[in-house]
Chains A and B, each alone.
Chain A
Amino acid sequence: MRTPDFDIYKDLLRERSGLFLTPDKSALLEARLSPVARKWGFESLEAMTAALKENPDPHLIIRIVEAMATPDSSFFRDGRPFDYFRETILPRLMDSRKKERALNIWCAAAASGQEPYSLALILKELEEGPLAGWEIRILATDISTETLQQAGQGVYSQFEMQRGLPIRFLLNHFTQEGEKWRLHDDIRRMVEYRYFNLLDSMTDMGKFDAVFCRNVLTLFEDTRKKDVLERLALQIEPGGFLALGTSENADTLPGLFTPCPGQPGLYIRS
C-alpha cells in the first residue's frame, strides 16, 4: 500500500478505536481490508481508499474498524489470572461487599465472549455456596458488534473448546450441536453484552468491583493507553481489581494501581 493511503487508515484507526498501526502492518491492513472493499462493491482497495477520502461513509468506517479488531481469545486465557481471581481476589471482594451482597464485573474488551463466560463459570460454581443470594452482574463490552453478536450466542467450535476450558465445564455447561458446542442458557444469561468503545467517556458505566481489560491496550499508543487506564480507574471501587493481559502493565500509574505480587498484569485499585 502507498504511504499516503496507509496514513489515511492509520489516522482513522488511531482516532476511532485507538489501534496504533506501525508501518510494518501494511500487509496486514491490506489483507484485512481487501475483503471489506470487495463486500462493499469497490473494484479494489485503492478505490475504497479514494472513496473514503472523498466522502467518509460512517458505516464503512465501522466495518473498517471491525475488520482491524483482532478478536482472538480463549477460555481462562493464561490460566493463572483466573485462578488468582477465584482464589485471592474473589474472597476479598466477597468480604468487602458482604453488606450489599452484590458484585459488578466488567469485561471491557470481551471479544468472542470466552473471558466473561469464564468468569460466569467460576461464579456459577459458587452460587450454591458462598455466593448464594448474591446479585452478580457481568457486563461485557467490545467495539466490534459483529464479535459481540457471536459472543452472545455462546456457540464455539471444537478447537475453541479445547483452549483453556476444563473438561468438566464442557461436560456440565455445554451441549453439542453438530461440530459446535452451545453454552447453556443459565450461564449465557449471566453475561450482558453491549457495544462500548474504550475511547468514549466511561462516566455513565457505573462502578465496578473488577474490570478485565485484557489484550487490547497493547495495541494502543502509550499516551492513549495511559488515558484509558486513568479513566478506567475512576470506574473501579477502591480495593477493586484490574486484570490486564499478562504482557501488559499499568506501571505508569503507580498511584492508581498497586500490582498484585508475582501476578503479571494484575492490579488492585489503590
Chain B
Amino acid sequence: MTKTCLIVDDSRVVRKVARRIVEDLGFACEEAENGKLALESCEKSMPSAVLLDWNMPVMDGIEFLRRLRDMKEGKSPAVIFCTVENTAGRVRQALEAGASEYIMKPFDGEIIQSKFRLAGLIE
C-alpha cells in the first residue's frame, strides 16, 4: 500500500516545496491550509504521516494535533511538526501533545528525510 502524507501549512509555497520532497520519499500527498481542514481530511482518510505547521489561521497545529490524537484512528499517524517555532518550550509542548518529531524551519530535503527516518516512516 502506498504511504500517504498530509501536508498542513498556511503557505502555499511551503506546501509545494514540502510536497515535492515528501513525494520523492515515496508518499502520496494531500494538502490542507489550516488545522480545521486538516482534521476534515483525516476524517475522510487517515494518513500515515502529517507534516504540520504550528501557526495557522482558523486552527493552529497544536490544537489540530490534540484533536487528532483524540480521534478514533488518530493515534496511528506519525506527526512531524515543521515550524519557525524553535524554542525548547515549544518542542516540549509538541511532544506532550503527541508529536513524533520536530523540524525547525528553514528545512531542506535532507532534514525532512532525516526526520522521516527518525519517525520510522522510511528506512
- Whether B92 lies near A158 (C-beta < 8 A) is no
- Whether B111 lies near A162 (C-beta < 8 A) is yes
Judge if A202 is at the interface, Cβ distance under 8 Å.
Answer: no
B102 to chain A minimum Cβ distance, whole angstroms, is: 4
Q: How big is the A interface, by class?
A: 10 to 19
A161 CB contacts on chain B under 8 angstroms? 104
Q: How long is the Cα–Cα vector from A174 to B91 in the complex, in angstroms?
A: 12
B95 CB contacts on chain A under 8 angstroms? 167-168, 171
Q: How long is the Cα–Cα vector from A79 to B118 in the complex, in angstroms?
A: 8
- Whether A167 lies near B91 (C-beta < 8 A) is yes
Q: How long is the Cα–Cα vector from A171 to B118 in the complex, in angstroms?
A: 15
A174 CB contacts on chain B under 8 angstroms? 88
Given contacts A168-B95, A171-B91, A175-B88, is CB(A162)–CB(B104) below 8 Å?
Answer: yes
Given contacts A162-B103, A162-B107, A167-B101, is CB(A176)–CB(B88) below 8 Å?
Answer: yes
Judge if A68 is at the interface, Cβ distance under 8 Å.
Answer: no
Q: How long is the Cα–Cα vector from A241 to B86 in the complex, in angstroms?
A: 37
Judge if B114 is at the interface, Cβ distance under 8 Å.
Answer: yes
- Whether B88 lies near A163 (C-beta < 8 A) is no
- Whether B103 lies near A171 (C-beta < 8 A) is no
A178 to chain B minimum Cβ distance, whole angstroms, is: 11
A168's nearest neighbour on chain B, judged by CB, is B95
Query: Which parts of A170-218 form the interface with B (CB within 8 Å)?
Result: 170-171, 174-176
A78's nearest neighbour on chain B, judged by CB, is B117
Judge if A254 is at the interface, Cβ distance under 8 Å.
Answer: no
A155 to chain B minimum Cβ distance, whole angstroms, is: 15
B81's nearest neighbour on chain A, judged by CB, is A167
B13 to chain A minimum Cβ distance, whole angstroms, is: 20
A163 CB contacts on chain B under 8 angstroms? 110-111, 114
A125 to chain B minimum Cβ distance, whole angstroms, is: 15
Contact with B along A149-172 (1 / 0, CB 8 A): 000000000110111101110110
Contact with A along B102-121 (1 / 0, CB 8 A): 11100100110011011000
A79's nearest neighbour on chain B, judged by CB, is B117
A183 to chain B minimum Cβ distance, whole angstroms, is: 13
Q: How long is the Cα–Cα vector from A158 to B88 in the complex, in angstroms?
A: 12
* Residue contacts A-B, CB under 8 angstroms, 19 given: A158-B104, A159-B111, A161-B104, A162-B103, A162-B104, A162-B114, A163-B110, A163-B114, A166-B118, A167-B101, A168-B95, A170-B88, A170-B91, A171-B88, A171-B91, A171-B95, A174-B88, A175-B88, A176-B87
What 10 A-B pairs come out closest when comparing CB atoms?
Answer: A167-B102, A162-B111, A166-B118, A164-B114, A171-B91, A167-B101, A79-B117, A163-B114, A158-B104, A176-B88
Interface residues of A (CB under 8 A from B): 74, 79, 158-159, 161-164, 166-168, 170-171, 174-176
